[in-house]
Amino acid sequence: MTQHPPKNLREQVKVAPYTTMRVGGPCDFFAEVDDVAGVAAACEWAGEQEIEVFVLGEGSNVIVSDAGLHRLVLKIEIPGFEVIDEDDESATLQIGAGEHWDHVVERAVKLDLAGIEAMSMIPGTAGATPVQNAGAYGQEIANTLVEVQAYDRLIHKMATLNREECGFGYRDSAFKGAMSGRYVIVGVTLKLSKQPPAEPTYASLKRYLEAQDIHKPNVAQIRSAVMAVRARILPDPSVVPNAGSFFKNPIVNKRELDRLRLPYPDMPAFEFGDDYKLAAGWLLDQCGLKGAEHYGLKLHSGHALVITNPNHAGYADLMKLVEYVVAVVYDRFGVTLEPEPQFIT
Ligand SMILES: Cc1cc2nc3c(=O)[nH]c(=O)nc-3n(C[C@H](O)[C@H](O)[C@H](O)COP(=O)(O)OP(=O)(O)OC[C@H]3O[C@@H](n4cnc5c(N)ncnc54)[C@H](O)[C@@H]3O)c2cc1C
C-alpha cells in the first residue's frame, strides 16, 4: 500500500533551532509525530521514498552537520504519563516517548516515588533516555527501566524490548550500537520505588543538603538539591547554546590509573565495576581549558566539560575545537576523551 506523506511534512527545514547546541543545516524533510500510528506511517513513507530517517527528541545530545541532512527528521512528540500498576513497594509508570523528561521526574517526585529524582533537570525527552542510558548523580535510566516500546523499522511492526535487550552501558546502549537506526522508541515503562530514596553520595549534593541541615532527604529534597547544584554549574541551553557535558568520563583499568597517579597523585577516580572512571572535567581543568575560547566557542567557565556556543558557530568550528581539546588532553595525560553527543552527518 502506498503511504501518504506524514501530516505537516515540511521540506528544507533548518535543524539548528531544534537542537540545544544550535548547530545544523537544513534537512530534506521534517515532520512531528504525536502517536504510534504516525511513527509507523512516517517510517513506511520514508522507506517507500528511499529516504533515511533520523529520529529527534529535543536535540540536546546531537550535533548536526552544517551540510544538512538528506533525511526525514522525525521529531517525537508522543505524550503520556500513567501509573499502570502498583503495590505497597512500587509503582510502574507508562511514559510517552515525547514527554519532556524533567516533567516526568517532577510528576514522579510529586507521587513520592524514588528512582529518578537525581536525574532532575536532564534536558530532552523520555524516549531518548534509553539511547544513551541517561543518568546523573548516581542514577541512570537502566536502573528503573522495565521495558521500551518501539517501532521496529526492520520488520515494520511494534516491538517491546526489556532492559537486557537494550544493552545498557555507561552513557551507552544498543540503540547507539548494534541496533542503531532500527527502533523508534514510542514509550518507556519505569518501575519506581515507594521506599525512602537512597542517600546521595555525590560530594556536591551532600554539601548542599548539609548546608540546608537536611539529613535523610526525601525525593523532593533530593530533586531540589540536584536542581540547585545543576543550576550553579550548567548553563541553561535556552540562554546559551550547549549540549551539556561534551566529553564522557574516561574509563581506565587499575594499571592505567596507577600510571596516571604517579605524576598526578590527586587525580580523582571513582570505582566503576572492576575499572575506574576519571573525571573528564578535572583533566580539562588541569590543561587550563576552563573558560578557554577557540574558534568562536567556549569551554564554560563554571564547568569545562560543557562547550558553549554563544556566537552560534558552525559544525566545522566545533569539530576543530573538539579535535584541539582531545589533542591537548592526550598530550598531557595519554588519555583519549570521547565526545558524549552524537554527531549526525
Ligand atoms: C545542559 C545539558 C545537560 C545535560 N545533562 C545530562 C546529564 O546529566 N546526563 C545525561 O545523561 N545527559 C545529559 N545531557 C544530554 C541529554 O540531555 C540527554 O542525552 C537526553 O536524554 C537527550 O534527549 P533528547 O530528547 O534531547 O535527545 P536527542 O538529542 O534529540 O537525541 C539523542 C539521540 O537519541 C535518539 N533518539 C531520540 N529520541 C528517540 C526515540 N524516541 N527513539 C529512538 N531514538 C531516539 C536520536 O536519534 C539521537 O541519536 C545534557 C544535555 C544538556 C544540553
Q: Last residue of some domain: 193, 208, 224?
A: 193
Tell me the per-residue pLDDT of 101-132, one tens digit each, with 9 for 90 and over: 999 999 999 999 999 999 999 999 999 999 99
Integer CA distances (angstroms), 127 to 100, 152, 176, 301, in order: 9, 14, 13, 31
Tell me the per-residue pLDDT of 7-48, one tens digit each, with 9 for 90 and over: 889 999 999 999 999 999 999 999 999 999 999 999 999 999
Tell me the per-residue pLDDT of 166-202, one tens digit each, with 9 for 90 and over: 999 988 999 999 999 999 999 999 999 999 999 998 8
**Is 163 a known active-site residue?**
no
Burial of 52 (0-12, 13-18, 19+ CB in 10 A): middle
Rounded to the nearest angstrom, the distance between the alpha carbon of 32 and the centre of ligand 1 is: 17
Both 68 and 87 in a single domain? no
Rounded to the nearest angstrom, the distance between the alpha carbon of 299 and the centre of ligand 1 is: 20
**Is 245 a known active-site residue?**
yes
Contacts of 331 (CB under 8 A, 6+ apart): none
What is the residue whose three cell numbers read 508522543?
Answer: 78
**Strand 251-252 to strand 242-245: parallel, antiparallel, or no bridges (unpaired)?**
unpaired
Rounded to the nearest angstrom, the distance between the alpha carbon of 285 and the centre of ligand 1 is: 25
Tell me how many domains the chain contains: 3
pLDDT tier for residue 1 given thresholds of 50, 70 and 90: low
Q: Is 219 within the bounds of a domain?
A: no
Both 314 and 264 in a single domain? yes
Q: Is 92 within the bounds of a domain?
A: yes
Q: Is 218 within the bounds of a domain?
A: no
Query: Above 90 in pLDDT, residue 3?
Result: no
Q: Is 215 within the bounds of a domain?
A: no
Which residues does ligand 1 sit against, CB inside 6 Å? 20, 55-62, 76, 97, 122-125, 127-129, 131-132, 134-136, 175, 183-185, 234, 237, 242-244, 342
Q: Is 200 within the bounds of a domain?
A: no
Tell me the per-residue pLDDT of 302-322, one tens digit each, with 9 for 90 and over: 899 999 999 999 999 999 999
Residue 274, domain extent: 242-344
Tell me the per-residue pLDDT of 213-235, one tens digit each, with 9 for 90 and over: 999 999 999 999 999 999 999 99
**Is 171 a known active-site residue?**
yes
The candidate with the shortest Cα–Cα distance to 129, out of 73, 188, 178, 43, is 188
Q: Which atom of ligand 1 is nearest to the CA of 133?
A: 11
Q: Is 129 within the bounds of a domain?
A: yes
What is the residue whose three cell numbers read 547544584?
Answer: 229
Q: Is 66 within the bounds of a domain?
A: yes
Q: Which atom of ligand 1 is nearest to the CA of 129?
A: 21
Q: Given 171, 173, 223, 224, which residue is catalytic?
A: 171
Q: Tell me which DSSP letter residue 322 carries.
A: H
Q: Is 214 within the bounds of a domain?
A: no
Dist. CA 70–CA 191, nearest whole Å? 39
Q: Whose CA is nearest to atom 22 of ligand 1?
A: 124
Rounded to the nearest angstrom, the distance between the alpha carbon of 199 and the centre of ligand 1 is: 26
Tell me the per-residue pLDDT of 72-95, one tens digit each, with 9 for 90 and over: 999 999 999 999 999 999 999 999
Integer CA distances (angstroms), 176 to 29, 65, 125, 173, 257, in order: 23, 18, 16, 6, 28
Both 187 and 291 in a single domain? no
Both 97 and 65 in a single domain? no
